[in-house]
Amino acid sequence: MRMRGPALALTALTLAASAIRAAASEPEVFGLGSEESAVAGASAARVHDFSAGYYDPAGLVLARRPEASFGVIGFGSALPLPGGGTFHMSDRVGILVGAATPVPFVGPLEDRIYVGIALHLLPDTIVRVIAHTPAEPLYPLYDNRTQRLVVLPTVAVRLWRGLSVGLGFNYLAGLGGHVDATEGATRALEARVDEQIYSHLAVNAGVRWQLRPRLALALVYRQAFGVPFRTVANNQVAGQPIDLDVDAEELYTPHTVVAGVAWRARPRLTISLDVAWQHWADWAGPYVTVTSELPLVGGIVAAPPHVSFADGASVRAGADWTALIRGAWAASIRGGYAFVSSPIPSGQTATQLLGGDMHHLTIGLGVRVAVFGGELRLDAHGELQIVQGSTVPLGSVGTGTVGAGGFTLTVRR
């Protein structure tokens, strides 16, 4: 079937408005590294390895010796959909790579500056974006959230008497350009695509204060970020200009503020607590905006439905107990709980965004052994997330679950 003029433009407008959709990254959903995931992410004041770039960059000063980490995480979901059926997450395996080290300065800068990097890699791609229409039911806090490369370099400075500061740089790639399409010899559209990827940074900033030998406090700010996407399509159909402008910001994470405390209650027991606030109200929603200039019609704006997200809060608590020390060996048992409030609005009329408040239950095991003057550490964890039910125009859904598990192997010199 051949379409011309406004009919072709309106069809393209409809397809584009079906939306590119994604939000955030793997650390926001399941944590970064098995040791901190095992305490439900209650880690701002206790983190000490490559994952500090996410939890609290200032905690990198606890990486007293060079270390390198490798890990794998897998996850799955059983989230109900209105009318029956189950939502399943895609790309269910991620690879973690990390490193941290003090910078070997001498003199006044000795043991003052620390650097690290954290990577979350997808096995076969850099980023994957999934399209949905507003009429489709979806879980915006799970669907497509883990499907991008995370690059998180970090630097921390020890200032004075247990006080340290740090910065993590959440590196992203934006996409922009244009598409030029004209009718060829066979009257089929021939397109020339010119898209460019450019750098986009967001900052994680943290302060850590070792108030007493057994008590540490932390304050962390994570800057809102997203992957900007804007493409202008300039089309010539039957001699008429038909232009489309697609604009979106994907892989969104809100401004977040975290206050944390870690208390070594006993020589072998550490208890940690994090309280966080997330400014979801600034998010325009998981859909794109499309504008067009049509012959005889003029400007048309395909605006996505307005979604009034609510600011969210979370409370995370964890415990880490070194249960066994035998010569060069040590073993730790960890566990945690987190409550995360849902930002998804109730009373939706034009969208089908699913998800309620979330409860996270975590457990983990760590083993350390001294070898060749260094240390080998293996940490493993499992996590169950319980998502409370919600109601959308298509109907109600009950409680669902999301599970995750993995390990991290660390070599410390």
pLDDT band at 135 (very low <50, low <70, confident <90, very high): confident
Q: What is the pLDDT of residues 217-252, one digit of tens each?
A: 999 999 987 666 666 666 665 566 666 666 666 667
Looking at residue 401, its pLDDT comes to 95
Q: Give the structural domain span for 199.
A: 5-412
pLDDT: is 75 or 230 the higher one? 75
Geometric angle at alpha carbon 68, from 64 and 71, rounded to 5°:
130
> 387 pLDDT exceeds 50?
yes
Going 323 to 326 to 327 to 333, the CA torsion angle's sign is: negative
SS3 381: strand
Q: Which residue has the tokens 């409680």?
A: 399
What pLDDT score was predicted for residue 185?
56
Predicted confidence at residue 195, as pLDDT, reads 53
Residues pairing with 337 in the sheet: 317, 361
Mean pLDDT of 114-130: 80
CA distance linking residue 233 with residue 124, whole number of Å? 29
Asked if residue 154 lies in contact with residue 170, where contact means CB atoms within 8 angstroms, the answer is no
With residue 218 as reference, give the H or E element that holds it. strand 215-222
Q: Check whether 260 has a pLDDT greater than 90.
A: yes
Distance CA 68, CA 365 (A): 19
pLDDT: which is higher, 146 or 113: 113
Helices and strands counted in the chain (H then E) = 4, 23
Q: Does residue 148 have a pLDDT over 50?
A: yes
Q: Strand 130-131 to strand 113-121: parallel, antiparallel, or no bridges (unpaired)?
A: unpaired
Beta 269-279 vs 312-326: how paired, if at all?
Answer: antiparallel
Dump pLDDT digits (tens) for 152-168: 999 999 998 899 999 99
Greater confidence (133 vs 108) lies with 108
Average pLDDT over residues 107-111: 88
What is the rounded CA–CA span in Å between residue 61 and residue 53? 11
> Which DSSP state fits 303?
P
* Burial of 2 (C-beta count, 10 Å sphere; 0-12/13-18/19+): exposed
At 256 the pLDDT is 96
pLDDT tens string 318-366: 999 999 999 899 999 999 999 999 999 888 888 889 999 999 999 999 9
Question: How high is the pLDDT of residue 187?
Answer: 53
CATH no. for residue 273?
2.40.160.60
Segment 267-284, tens digit of pLDDT = 999 999 999 999 998 887
Nearest Cα neighbor of 127 from 180, 56, 197, 41 is 197
pLDDT of residue 4: 42
Kindly state the percentage of the chain with pLDDT values over 70: 74
Per-residue pLDDT at 10: 38
Strand partners, 231: 177, 246
pLDDT score of 242:
65
* Phi then psi dihedrals of residue 354, to 5 deg: -105, 155
pLDDT band at 302 (very low <50, low <70, confident <90, very high): low
- Above 70 in pLDDT, residue 372? yes
Helix (H, G, I), strand (E, B), or coil: what is residue 10? Answer: helix
3-state SS class at 360: strand
**CA–CA distance, 67 with 176 (Å, rounded to integer):** 38
Question: For residue 140, which of 201, 79, 200, 229 has the smallest C-alpha distance?
Answer: 79
- Cα 34 to Cα 367: distance, rounded to the nearest angstrom: 12
Q: What is the mean pLDDT of residues 178-186?
A: 55
| Per-residue confidence (pLDDT) for residue 221, from 0 to 100 | 97
Q: Determine how many CB atoms are found less than 10 A away from the CB of residue 413.
A: 11
pLDDT greater than 80 at residue 141: yes
What per-residue confidence (pLDDT) applies to 137?
87
Write out the E strands in 33-162.
67-80, 86-87, 93-102, 113-121, 130-131, 150-160
Of 51-55, 158-162, 285-289, 380-384, the least confident: 285-289
Higher per-residue pLDDT: 380 or 21: 380
Which segment, 25-34, 125-134, 232-241, is predicted with the most confidence on average?
A: 25-34
Distances (CA, A) of 255 to 158, 339, 394: 26, 18, 31
pLDDT above 60 for 379: yes
Res 196: pLDDT: 58
Task: Answer for the pair 101, 114: CB distance below 8 angstroms, yes or no.
Answer: yes
Confidence at residue 13, expressed as pLDDT on a 0 to 100 scale: 39
The residue to which tokens 């996505």 are assigned? 304
pLDDT tops 90 at residue 293: no
**Could you write out the DSSP letters of every residue in 136-171?**
S-B-TTTTTTT-B-EEEEEEEEEEETTEEEEEEEEE
